[in-house]
Amino acid sequence: MLKQILYTAIIAFFIISCNDDPKIPLKNVYIESVTINGKNVSNGGSVFGMPVDSVVFQITFSSPIDKTKFDPEALFLSMGLDTGFVIAKDTFSRQLNFKISHPLNYYTSYTLYVAEGEQLGVNILDPHSFTFVTKLDPAPKFPVISDDSLLTLVQKQTFAYFWDHAHPTSGLARERYGSAETVTSGGSGFGIMTIPVAIERGFITRQQGFERLQTIVNFLNTKADRFHGAYPHWLNGTSGKTQPFSTKDNGADLVETAFLMQGLLTVQQYFKTGNSAEKAMCDTIQKIWEAVEWSWFQQNGQQKLFWHWSPNYNWEMNMAVSGWNEGLIVYVLAAASPTYPITKAVLFMISNCLLAKTEADLCSLHIILSLGSIPATFPTNMPIIWSRTSRTPVSIMLIVSPIPKAITVMVPIAGDSRPAIFLMATLLHHPTTIAERLLRRLRYPPSLILLKKVCGR
């Protein structure tokens, strides 16, 4: 028995001894860092703006690797892309540098996968993935046009939204695509202001513009809900009834009303010297404008204006209008009202936001913002520009509407050192740049409507 065991052991020894390539476990390594065209990227991360013809990867491992044992099935790109990796010759033993030899597609997301397991003569711990997005194709996708043509196209497409998508009954602007019966008072002010521009630019005829405006003005005058002369934010485009913006916001919206009044007053200026029908429409606009009880929205005589009033909830929203924002035009129009103007004391409250501390300051505001020079601390998202012209010693105020060529302006009366508020009609000419247009129009202002003096009232 002992003899048999000995023979078995000797045979096993010879079998093992004859195996000249024993299986040696590979060293475990991990990936320390990855860059794609010099940009660091973490596992599962992404980099952007990569060229389509030269994407270079650099993978650094925790220990030396054997680049002759590169396995393309364990290191590959997404979408089965045949990349034909080119391995770079270098002397750094822990680094694998390679590039994609074939061009990639523009603006496309690719992912490099590094499988775990045996690869490059080591055992890579954990799978890895790194995503990169190629850059946009720099070739023009559309015909190249001049700046002037581009501005015209922007105007035309802006106008088209308000014109083509308007409610068929009221002519007012819908809140957005898919709003069905919901129209918006403030957005309609923007849309109304595009119509004179469209007429002058030749997008529609004067008669077409007038007919649409007449529909809008008649609807606002006879069917649309009003609360102390102010319109709600949303209305039903067929019935004119209020559609609540929120539970308690189911009545007057003074800011949206101000936007609407800007549009209507611009239209009134444009058509005021027209035929009898156009003049009649302008008379109706004047009635709508004069019916807004701006001072009533001081909420029981407070020295500020309030945004909302509800027939059910009264002043419960209790939101004052203030600051460098869309509410500023409310105070401008409220001060200019021929029927329900706010007092100087209320205007001075908002003027504090404009750096004016006294009546004298309000009447001689200096440059806060010059064309072409915007202080870094200035809230540039606000549509307000302060400047001064070479023809007058006092400042003017521009409130640029969302529609090109439609601007509200505060300028002084000729021969008077005190500012007065004017509403400038739609800017009709088309200089190459906005700055040129503003400067040209400020030097030679068009016919203006005097709404009301502010100082010295």
Short-list 374, 355, 377, 373, CA closest to 365 = 355
Range with lowest mean pLDDT among 168-177, 290-299, 394-403: 394-403
- The pLDDT tens digits of the residues spanning 111-145 come to 989 989 988 999 999 999 999 999 999 998 888 89
Which contiguous run of DSSP H or E holds residue 336? helix 328-336
- The pLDDT tens digits of the residues spanning 56-87 come to 999 999 999 998 888 877 778 886 666 578 88
- The pLDDT tens digits of the residues spanning 289-334 come to 999 999 999 999 998 999 999 999 999 999 999 876 777 788 888 8
pLDDT at 445: 32
Q: What are residue 370's phi and psi, to 5 degrees?
A: -100, 150
**Residue keyed to tokens 């996968």:** 113
d(CA 379, CA 381): 6
Cα–Cα distance list, 7 to 1, 15, 16, 425 (Å): 10, 13, 15, 114
Which contiguous run of DSSP H or E holds residue 95? strand 95-99
pLDDT of residue 408 exceeding 70: no
pLDDT at 434: 38
- The pLDDT tens digits of the residues spanning 199-233 come to 988 999 999 999 999 999 999 999 999 999 999 99
**Residue keyed to tokens 């003074």:** 254
pLDDT of residue 92 exceeding 90: no
pLDDT of residue 101 exceeding 50: yes
The DSSP symbol for 444 reads S
d(CA 159, CA 400): 16
Task: Give pTM, 2 decimals.
Answer: 0.59
Token digits of residue 423: 């509403």
pLDDT of residue 177 exceeding 60: yes
Domains in the chain, CATH or no CATH each: 28-134 (2.60.40.1220), 147-453 (1.50.10.140)
Counting residues of the chain whose pLDDT is more than 70, the rounded percentage is 69
- The pLDDT tens digits of the residues spanning 234-252 come to 999 999 999 999 999 999 9
Quickly state the pLDDT bin for 8 (edges 50, 70, 90). low
Quickly state the pLDDT bin for 22 (edges 50, 70, 90). low
User: What is the number of helices (H) and of strands (E) in the chain?
Assistant: 10, 21
- The pLDDT tens digits of the residues spanning 337-384 come to 899 998 877 876 665 544 444 444 443 332 222 223 333 333 333 333
Instruction: Say if residues 378 and 398 touch (Cβ distance below 8 Å).
Output: no
d(CA 217, CA 264): 8
Instruction: Say if residues 217 and 264 touch (Cβ distance below 8 Å).
Output: yes
Could you tell me the maximum CA-CA distance found in the chain, to the nearest angstrom? 132
Which contiguous run of DSSP H or E holds residue 129? strand 128-134
Instruction: Say if residues 279 and 211 touch (Cβ distance below 8 Å).
Output: no
Alpha helices in 272-327 (DSSP H): 276-291
pLDDT at 6: 54
